[in-house]
Structure 1
Amino acid sequence: MVTLEQFLVDRQQEFEGATGAFSKILRDLSLGAKLISFYLRRASLSGLLGELGLTNVQGEAVQKLDHLANTLFIRLFSQNPHIAGLASEEEEHILPTNPHGKYVVLLDPLDGSSNIDVGVPVGTIFSLYRRLTPVGTPCEEKDFLQGGRAQVAAGYVLYGTSTLLFYTTGQGVHGFTLEPAAGEFLLTYPAVRMPEKSQYYSFNDNQLHEWEPGLQRYVQHLHAQNRAAEKPQSLRYVGSLVADVHRNLLKGGLFMYPGTVKKPEGKLRLLYEGYPIAWLVEQAGGRASNGQMALLDVPATKIHQRTPLFLGPSAEIESLHTFLNNHVPVEKA
């Protein structure tokens, strides 16, 4: 069995001359994940379910566990000497921490938290960048707006029947499972690859009539293909981003969270959800898009920027682009 700690030591040379900085940052991230996993298991017994009575910068009701997770990660990363600052989906502005740190962290502390009270898996999403501003000075917003290709690490934690941590540093995707008795993350998913063929498609088509015509035609195309197929794809949509992405990453599937005609910018956050998930999918052999271009190539202009999100095997995303850009008519089954 290989622990996360052992794995990081063995792979340190992948990350800036084996300084140990990345290992320390990921250890803090994994400690936060262990604590959140504990609180989630006891949430219904400890009065941690429900809303806090506040609204965050996104205009969403803050869940008690949102606040707990956000506060926990802020405390952990504020004490890390390698972190110059962090940006959280729950915070309106960036949070400078150690001016001598060389890295900045972006995170969605607890994605899907509105589903906790019905037992749906939730997750933490994170990414890491080398700062642009001089070491020894406070970090600035431009340190967080470098674009998806500048990420040096990204990943997610899934809190479900087990607690899983998946991450990449640009050398493939590796997954770890928390062994609660030992309190260690153990390597259980080395070198993850997304299947080239989709078993599932994952999207909420309740707003199909509000999607752009090309996307409506693409969905009709999927249904027509399914009617003609011997083994049709199945619809699997939890409504918790990390859970849906995790399933499709391992099993093979297409995930879509588009914008609408009235709100083409979409709902998901580019920096906290889009970039890190897109890099994981690409590193696992899949493809990520905003419907027009590779998501990692979309410029970042503000820390709470939103984006449509399409993830899946390369051939599926290529087919999607054909419908969105060329207005291909539907083939009837």
Structure 2
Amino acid sequence: MTVPDAPRADGGAPDGDPTAEAVFDAVAATAPEIRAALPGRRVESGTENASGESVLAGDLYADELLGDAITAVDGVGSFVSEERETAVDAGGAVGEGAYAVAIDPLDGSSNLRSNNAMGTVVGVYDAPLPATGRDLVAASYVLYGPITTMVVADESGVREEVVTREDDGDVERSVVEADLRLPDDPLVYGFGGRVPDWPAAFTAFAREVEDELKLRYGGAMVGDVNQVLTYGGIFAYPALVDAPRGKLRLSFEANPIAYIVERAGGAATDGETDILDVEPDGVHDRVPLYVGNEALVERLEDALADE
């Protein structure tokens, strides 16, 4: 399926990297299609992804639509998805003028049955995957909330856009916040995983934070991180007793989210190391993720170091 570009509503040319902006145009153009198709795709697909997880029909549809749209962008050399074992060759030499694009097509898809927030996460890398987050040139996520929004980060900063389909069928990106920054005074926190599976040091930190901040956790990373970007605070999907490497995927989820949060003035860590410096062994590697206001992330690292 060929998906048209989604131009900015102000009609101006994007200021960022042209290939990355073309990727985000393609992602935005798919958003109304993905959203419209979700009601009929809330069932199991009968397949598993590369990580051995059961996949919903909505996951596969979003993956197919995004794969077609992104591989059609000039300057994209490969496309890698959480739902696929290997990369799709898009015809360019990655790192030699072409980019690798990594996506989580439907982040939080377990929320589909309960009709809660979901999203799409995108990382644009100037290196073959697996690569570190330092090889990102831009990242974004789409949030399918009451409003469809896209948060975009590149070397110039972070902005928030609203994605709309007009009456004539065209899809537009309208900038609503040109310089998105984490508020200085944090208000919210959200931590994933079962509490009994949290390590003792993380549990102690969580008990401190719950006396200071308001709980905001919805089970979709993009929604929970968006709360942090909006109100300030901290999001974590920690290392667990039975999953010391964490749950989230470095290439598809942790790196793009860390890139966005750091560009917005925050910090991101795996508990010891800046997420963007984590060296991957494989494209589907998992990692603990802690992101938010720098002071809170530093407190967390100190707490984990004392364990």
The TM-score normalised by the length of structure 2 is 0.90
Secondary structure at the residue paired with 2:149? strand
Q: Which runs of 5+ in 1 are unaligned?
A: 132-142, 227-231, 328-333
Select 1:123's aligned residue among 119, 124, 149. 119
Report the counterpart of residue 105 of structure 2 in structure 1. 109
Question: Is 1:199–2:194 an aligned residue pair?
Answer: no
Q: Which runs of 5+ in 2 are unaligned?
A: 1-6
Match for 1:89: what amino acid?
E
Secondary structure at the residue paired with 1:259? coil
Report the counterpart of residue 331 of structure 1 in structure 2. none
Select 1:238's aligned residue among 194, 215, 218. 218
Q: CA deviation at 1:290?
A: 0.6
Aligned partners of 2:193 and 2:238 also within 8 Å: no
Partner Cα separation in structure 1 for residue 23 and residue 189 of structure 2: 34
Secondary structure at the residue paired with 1:165? strand
Secondary structure at the residue paired with 1:87? strand
Partner Cα separation in structure 2 for residue 23 and residue 283 of structure 1: 17
Q: CA deviation at 1:235?
A: 1.1
Number of matched residues? 295
Partner Cα separation in structure 2 for residue 22 and residue 210 of structure 1: 38
Aligned partners of 1:5 and 1:27 also within 8 Å: no
Q: CA deviation at 1:211?
A: 2.5
Deviation digits for residues 194-215 of structure 1, max 9, x if unmatched?
A: 11222111114633x4332321
Q: CA deviation at 1:311?
A: 1.0
Report the counterpart of residue 9 of structure 1 in structure 2. 13
Deviation digits for residues 254-292 of structure 1, max 9, x if unmatched?
A: 111111123210010011000000010001111111111
The structure where helix makes up a greater share of residues is: 1
Select 1:277's aligned residue among 257, 264, 272. 257
Partner Cα separation in structure 1 for residue 248 and residue 300 of structure 2: 19
Select 2:198's aligned residue among 198, 211, 214. 211
Q: CA deviation at 1:242?
A: 0.5
Secondary structure at the residue paired with 1:156? strand
Deviation digits for residues 121-180 of structure 1, max 9, x if unmatched?
A: 10000011124xxxxxxxxxxx01221011001010001111001111121101110233
Report the counterpart of residue 136 of structure 1 in structure 2. none
Q: CA deviation at 1:33?
A: 1.8
Partner Cα separation in structure 1 for residue 229 and residue 105 of structure 2: 21
Question: Is 1:175–2:163 an aligned residue pair?
Answer: no
Match for 1:213: what amino acid?
A
Matches within 5 A, 1:263-302: 263-302=243-282
Partner Cα separation in structure 2 for residue 127 and residue 6 of structure 1: 25
Report the counterpart of residue 77 of structure 2 in structure 1. 84
Aligned partners of 1:25 and 1:82 also within 8 Å: no
Aligned partners of 1:200 and 1:234 also within 8 Å: yes
Partner Cα separation in structure 1 for residue 259 and residue 140 of structure 2: 9
The percent identity for this pair of structures is: 32
Q: Give the number of the structure whose alpha-carbon radius of gyration is greater.
A: 1
Report the counterpart of residue 229 of structure 1 in structure 2. none
Secondary structure at the residue paired with 2:55? strand
Partner Cα separation in structure 1 for residue 9 and residue 106 of structure 2: 23
The TM-score normalised by the length of structure 1 is 0.83
Question: Is 1:161–2:146 an aligned residue pair?
Answer: yes
Aligned partners of 2:150 and 2:162 also within 8 Å: yes
Partner Cα separation in structure 1 for residue 12 and residue 53 of structure 2: 36
The structure where strand makes up a greater share of residues is: 2
Partner Cα separation in structure 2 for residue 222 and residue 113 of structure 1: 28
